[in-house]
Structure 1
Amino acid sequence: MPPPPPQKDRGQQPRRRRMLALPAVCPCEGIAPAPLLASLLSLAADVAGPHAAAPDVDALPALRGAARKAVRIAGLLLAFLDAVHGAASDDDAPLPDEAVLGLSELHVALQKLRVLLADCARKGARLWVLMNAELAASELRVVMGSVATAMDALPLDVVGSSADAEELAGMVSTQAWRAAERLRLDPEDDRAARGVRSVLQLFASGVTPDAEDARFVLARVGAATWSACTEESAFLEAELLERLETGGEDDNDLVLISGLMAFLVYCRVVLFDRIDDSDKGEAAMPVARPAARSATWVDPEALQCPITLELMTDPVTVATGQTYDRASIKKWIKSGCRTCPVTGERLRSAELVPNVAARGIIEQLLLSRGVSLQEPSSKHRCAVDKTASAFGAAAAGGVRLAVAFLIARMSRGTPEEQKKATYEARKLSKRNVFYRACLVEADAVPWLLHHLSSPDASVQDNAVAGLLNLSKHPAGRLALVEAGGLGLTVDAVNVAARVEARQNAAAVLFYLSSSPEYCEEISRIPEAIPTLVHLARDGAYRGRKNALVSLYGLLQCADAHGRAVSAGAVAALAGLLLGGSATGGDDDLALDAVALLARLAEQPAGARAVAASSELVTRLVDFLGESASRSAKEHCASLLASLGRHGGDRVLALLGKLPGLMPALYALIADGTPQAGKKARWLVNEIHRHYEQRQSAAAAAPPALATGDRVIRV
């Protein structure tokens, strides 16, 4: 008996099957002929049956003629198998064991045929299939040859079980051999593929191709709309990132995929004047295909990971029933936190169960927006970073031509053309690092800044989102500052028409604040810090989050502390902390608030503002004992230590009277990080020193002046 296959780690995600790779499971040697025949009947019906699962060969981008023949042969094979099954049932005679070999070969061949036809008919992958038509034709020849060989290997008592079966067997064998021998590419397939290669050569030379050549290719593959081009591009992007993640790929494949992506980007930008289904809503969310019913009522925020606030790509459920993205909850547990981030309950088990239902809803939601769900991978970010340069001259030239066209439309186009151009810029800058660089080099940043003042809310929204994506690129941040965009971005946080635009503008300030030089310039803008404080206090959930992290970045400048205190930052942060709990739904906002208060308290003015609220100080002590996050405990210990350092004896006296503080500090000394332990140890010593001094003073004073206070001992 062969050894059992190795068990896959439950936390490891299976790799996505490569297009035009045809996996098949061979039936086991001991299988009985009857169940094998029944399985074959179902499999043949899947390929040849007139139902939704059967491929539409007329819509294939390549090999339409050969696919029609293959489906007809599958239909004949289905009729043959049905005749054999009927004869065996009528005669009540089981099939001979010698039939297993031929039926197994047929089973494997039909599995491969079903997968091959499904790949060729897959929406979104048609351009890739067209460019790999030779490979698909080769695979189809092998499959047809296998069918013919299997038919010839069947025993005579199976083939001749009835007159109909014998005639059908001969027809299947003859036509399968003939199909394998005569299979050729359709002339139109070859013409379309040569057209794509011609366009890519023009891209490499920096020459604009003939629009009609591109339209012919799109019509051939059934991608003659903006949304269809978007769907094709999303598939190729996923394919590119998959290959970059796994490594060891043929450079020629990467060059071809990148070139095809550039071809689709160019077609989408240049050939189409409007975004499909824009009459159903704004251009910011084009619909590539009809939305799944379940995606129409789902709140996207409900599909965000509670830890990262990003849309989950690999949702898993923990022992408490809460769902998180696999990467974020694994990082949480690895950091030493064995509690559920949302409920605060201790996790009885570290087992992560895939949430298939949530993943299905997320995939439907993304597909309804023309985006493909990427397979989760720890190497995904590295793969995205590898797109900083184009794979091949064709990809570089095509994207540059498309971007130049976009800039022309943004600067001189009609309002509708500008609306589409800003959305295209937003979409191009979303993930591919090279696309971001091309947009920056083509001076997209000044024009996006110009459109921040657009009366059209969707144009403004697209412009802010595009700037957010470009601010993730070092050259994009420089271009934004040099174009005078700091003040405009601050204004967008304050007065943008839509909530999403204000939130994204705050996120732009966060990326800019990563540079100390830009940080100082932002903090000198009078409205900058008050605007962020206002958003942190009154904004929506995402707006608050972005405002808090932006403020945290700005506070690396010493001058910003006083402005933040004057703008009411302490009161706003206290509202976030006092309004929720360390284990409530606003847990992450509370953690950010504590971190920000800790940074404010590093300066005397900030510490005094925090210490002025005894309710806030009491809440901080409770938070130190309740919080499950090591980083939150460290921030809280640092904050309380700063209060003791800058607040003097009054604050130390207040802290010493809070019964929960000393146990929490001693626990932090024993189990916390070295930095947190150091802060906690200092604070314990200071509190004891303060009360020892008071006790000594009370003992030395006349009886009438004794305070009666007792030293707190833990």
Structure 2
Amino acid sequence: MLPHERGHPPPRRRRMLSLPAVCPCEAISPAPLLASLLSLAAGVRDADLGALPALRGAAREAVRIAGLLLAFLDAVASDAGGHTPLPGEAVLGLSELHVALQKLRLLLADCSRKGARLWVLMNAELAASELRVVMGSVATAIDVLPDAIVTASGEARELAGMVSRHAWRAAVRLRPDAEDERASRGVRSVLARFAAGATPDADDARLVLARVFGDETSSACAEEAAFLEAELLERLEMPGGEDDSDLVLLASLLAFLLYCRVVLFDRIDDPKKPDASPAVPPRTSAARSAAWVNTEALQCPITLELMTDPVTVTTGQTYDRASIKKWIKSGCRTCPVTGERLRSAELVPNMAARGIIEQLLLRRGVPIHHEPSGKHRCAVDKTASPFGAAAAGGVRLAVAFLVTRLSKGTPQEQRKATYEVRKLSKRNVFYRACLADAGAVPWLLHLLASPDSTVQDNAVAGLLNLSKHPAGRRALVDAGGVGLIVDAVSVAAKVEARQNAAAVVFYLSSSTDYCEEISRIPEAIPTLVRLARDGAYRGRKNALVSLYGLLQCADAHGRAVSAGAVAALAGLLLAGDGGDDRGEDLAVDAVALLARIVEKPAGARAVAASSELVTRVVDFLGESASRSAKEHCASLLASLGRHEGERVLPLLGKLPAVMPALYALIADGTPVAGKKARWLVNEIHRHYELRQTTQAATPATAEHRGIRV
């Protein structure tokens, strides 16, 4: 029974070594069923066994039996096409054969799946058991076929007997190869040393690695680790995934690969060298171009991340499918790059770009279907547990080795160590905790001054990942790194490093204590203001959210105003009316930050001094589709009304767009936004009523006095 038939939601994709098959319809006639069987059997017979990391002997026997079965089915089809139609009783046996061949095809595909060699090896006994069951099903199905089919000709009778005998023998005898068992024992021996907290001998680990992969490249480890990590996160995302019995083995094998990659290899494989990856040498023009192509050209213009499913829209621009679908679903009907209107929402797969990306990833040891994606972000929070003593021990040993390399290594060793820290800390909470506890943070801070821009960039990215963990933030502050991070925002060699440094400030500002320490640094707020004003999109975004966090400190408001934050935010808000989605996104953040600034009188005075800015806030309130943006606008205007009412309320009363926007917010906005909008409407009315009352109470001069008649 399939999972969804038991009342559980179906998995997002088929799990490795699970073999769901679709039984043919009971009403199907024998002829089309036989034709489908011929196609299935031919596909199994032609399977490439060279890619199998384990079960080579058993798989070879299964494929040989599939070839005999194909010959038998050919003989039956030839006889049925001549003068003897297939009887209806044959449907049962042929259907059983169809199900068995489906399972055999899935099993062979799983065993030869790229990047899953270690997982298949460690589950070789399970795979062999499934293979025995499938062979038993084939033998049973042959035995229950009607005699009219089996004895239709001498050739068919002989082939049916051969298939039955060989399948029954395989159902009893198929076992993993002896070499598979030796390699599996070697891996389990290393895992046992991990669990005991002992360091495995490097030569032993290297020998185990050679038995598993047949070569010793870090890209092979990276490829396998990418598969295991994706499998681990996929299972954690499923309901009840934390109780999955395979999590301990997955996490332990992942720790084994990480340890081997970190400890056994002194360099990162160069993706430009064709021998750096065990992947098949490129044969197509797309593959040849992967060596020299500019990777920035393969980034999605929306997310600035490498595309994994490139599609082309009607304007000819290429985007990642998930990103452009989200763009269109949000109501945007223009091309993000050209601004042209999309004539339709049709997305055409860009096979040329996909081929180049796939070859590029294969050269780096990451197949395209294993490229990490944002869909696992929820599962990352569930990785705080190491899932077993072996996984915990292996990761701690690898982390200790990395910290030693960070502190005492050569420049080349430090370069690789910072790269590994960046990768380790990206999507695993337990790995972050281990790195923070092992003392990686002070050495990463020390390497911010490295003359190597790559080392500096990796160090900042590693600190960013570690700042997402409470222990990482605490270690960063205790090491006196706040000032170094602030300096990196303005002086880091790479733009990406400056942007990531600003993001570190954001995570630090989530704590009130750390926020106050940051705000006491004279250059902290001015540096972020400059990045918000002059940086690229991602840098501006990170600077804005960091400033927003820092403004929870009372003394930060005055410093932000003095640093020119109001003028910088006004520039972003005024630039947000050009129809560009990124500009509008920054405008929403800018108005949120302005709303926080005007909570204090000094900030309100600075904003109220610009009638152009106040007018733009009113326009943005009416035109923005974002509910949060409308609420921020209402908060901003309400704070201005409280602190600078004499200056702002007359201006608001003269703007024709303000009342419709406020009444719309009262009718359709959130309760908080509606309350602020009502207060603002009442204040505007009260201001004008008071003004009219004052004018009426003023005594008229003699020449203007009316004469009552």
TM-score norm. by structure 1 comes to: 0.85
Deviation (angstroms), 1:530: 1.4
Give the fraction of aligned pairs with identical amino acids, expressed as a percent: 75
**Residue pair 1:61, 1:220 contacting (<8 A) in 2 also:** no
Deviation (angstroms), 1:630: 1.7
Give distance in 2, aligned partners of 1:424 and 1:47. 41
- Structure 1 partner of 2:35: 38
User: How do residues 14-93 of structure 1 correspond to structure 2 at under 5 angstroms?
Assistant: 14-49=11-46, 54=47, 56-89=48-81, 91-93=82-84
Deviates more, 1:27-36 or 1:270-279: 270-279
Deviation (angstroms), 1:244: 2.8
Give distance in 2, aligned partners of 1:500 and 1:117. 43
| Aligned partner (choices 596, 601, 604) of residue 599 of structure 1 | 596
Give distance in 1, aligned partners of 2:382 and 2:324. 23
CA distance 1:617–1:365, shift in 2 (3 Å): farther
* Deviation per residue, 1:241-273 (Å, 9 max, x gap): 333333166565322222111111101111112
- Structure 2 partner of 1:474: 470
- Structure 1 partner of 2:236: 244
| Aligned partner (choices 654, 663, 666) of residue 666 of structure 1 | 663
Structure 1 residue matching 2:386: 3-state secondary structure: coil
State whether structure 2 residue 152 is matched by structure 1 residue 153: no
AA in 2 matched with 1:591: V
- Structure 1 partner of 2:185: 194
- Structure 1 partner of 2:268: 275
User: How do residues 160-559 of structure 1 correspond to structure 2 at under 5 angstroms?
Assistant: 160-222=151-213, 224-245=216-237, 246-247=239-240, 252-279=245-272, 299-302=298-301, 304=303, 340=331, 370=366, 372=370, 383-559=379-555
* Deviation per residue, 1:55-96 (Å, 9 max, x gap): x3233222111111111111222222223223333x254222
**Residue pair 2:309, 2:354 contacting (<8 A) in 1 also:** no
* Deviation per residue, 1:323-378 (Å, 9 max, x gap): 99989999x99xxxx9737879xxxxxxxx9989599969959955638357987x
Deviation (angstroms), 1:200: 1.0
Give distance in 1, aligned partners of 2:179 and 2:234. 30
- Structure 2 partner of 1:710: none
AA in 2 matched with 1:142: V
Deviation (angstroms), 1:212: 3.0
AA in 2 matched with 1:452: L
CA distance 1:316–1:108, shift in 2 (3 Å): same
Give distance in 2, aligned partners of 1:565 and 1:534. 13
Provide structure 1 residue ranges, at least 5 long, that are not aligned to the other structure.
Answer: 345-352, 708-714
State whether structure 2 residue 625 is matched by structure 1 residue 632: no
CA distance 1:580–1:87, shift in 2 (3 Å): same
Deviation (angstroms), 1:206: 1.5
State whether structure 2 residue 670 is matched by structure 1 residue 687: no
CA distance 1:60–1:326, shift in 2 (3 Å): closer
Give distance in 2, aligned partners of 1:639 and 1:325. 37
Give distance in 1, aligned partners of 2:223 and 2:701. 86
Give distance in 1, aligned partners of 2:308 and 2:150. 51
* Deviation per residue, 1:123-147 (Å, 9 max, x gap): 2222111111111111111111111
Provide structure 2 residue ranges, at least 5 long, that are not aligned to the other structure.
Answer: 336-344, 705-709
| Aligned partner (choices 669, 675, 679) of residue 678 of structure 1 | 675
CA distance 1:325–1:76, shift in 2 (3 Å): closer
| Aligned partner (choices 114, 129, 132) of residue 123 of structure 2 | 132
- Structure 1 partner of 2:707: none
Structure 1 residue matching 2:381: 3-state secondary structure: helix
| Aligned partner (choices 95, 99, 112) of residue 86 of structure 2 | 95
Deviation (angstroms), 1:650: 2.1
**Residue pair 1:63, 1:189 contacting (<8 A) in 2 also:** yes
AA in 2 matched with 1:566: S
Indicate the RMSD between aligned Cα atoms, in angstroms. 3.8
Deviation (angstroms), 1:631: 1.4
| Aligned partner (choices 697, 701, 704) of residue 700 of structure 1 | 697
AA in 1 matched with 2:391: A
AA in 2 matched with 1:170: G
Give distance in 1, aligned partners of 2:45 and 2:453. 51
Deviates more, 1:504-513 or 1:220-229: 220-229
State whether structure 2 residue 575 is matched by structure 1 residue 579: yes
CA distance 1:312–1:487, shift in 2 (3 Å): same
Give distance in 2, aligned partners of 1:247 and 1:224. 37
**Residue pair 1:565, 1:606 contacting (<8 A) in 2 also:** yes
Deviation (angstroms), 1:614: 1.4
How many residues were matched structurally? 670
Deviation (angstroms), 1:316: 13
* Deviation per residue, 1:99-142 (Å, 9 max, x gap): 22222111111111111111111122221111111111111111
AA in 2 matched with 1:652: L
**Residue pair 1:241, 1:384 contacting (<8 A) in 2 also:** yes
CA distance 1:383–1:45, shift in 2 (3 Å): same
Structure 2 residue matching 1:386: 3-state secondary structure: coil
